[in-house]
Amino acid sequence: MDFLSLIDMCMSTNVRKLSRIVTRIYDSYLKPSGININQLAIMLTIKGMQDHNDGKPSIGDAATRLAMEKSTFSRNLRVLEDLDFIKLQISSTSRSQKVISVTENGMEMIMNAYTYWDEVQHIIKTGIGEEKFMQTIAITNEIESFLIDRFGMN
């Protein structure tokens, strides 16, 4: 048995390896903004869900959208809340549920970080080509949908 061949063909290993590389690159470009790609993704998700759903998303809904464990997501939210980038409050419809919103400071941070995010996006798109860039996103979305449907996870 060729163990290196097994690992070279492993979906999980290859996706995780690419994810670590991509994360390091985005974090490096975002460093001058003061936040990392995970924090930016969380704030963009909250703001996007708020804009599209006409209301503040719950912690559970936002965590699911990002495929994050609720406890991990909550720890990340505490950091953003301490920085005054997001606000957590009790839902008006369910006292047992908390909802999230992006603060004015958070919106300023998003707009500041956007410049750096856009730069790295452009470099990657140019480097691999627009078509491959869009295909990669489409393929990852397709795999995500299949895995959620097949294994019931998200």
Compute the CA torsion angle 116, 117, 120, 123 (nearest 10 deg). -100
Residue 102 inside a domain? The answer is yes
Short-list 30, 35, 102, CA closest to 62: 102
- Is there a contact between 111 and 35 (Cβ–Cβ < 8 Å)? no
Q: Tokens at residue 138, please?
A: 């489409």
pLDDT of residue 152: 84
pLDDT of residue 12: 95
> Which pLDDT tens digit goes with each residue over 2-25?
999 999 999 999 999 999 999 999
Residue 11 inside a domain? The answer is no
pTM, to two decimals:
0.92
> Which pLDDT tens digit goes with each residue over 32-86?
999 999 999 999 999 999 999 878 999 999 999 999 999 999 999 999 999 999 9
pLDDT of residue 100 exceeding 90, the answer is: yes
Residue 16 inside a domain? The answer is no
State which residues form the domain around 76. 21-151
User: Strand locations in the chain, DSSP E?
Assistant: 86-90, 98-102
Ramachandran angles phi, psi of 39, nearest 5°: -65, -40
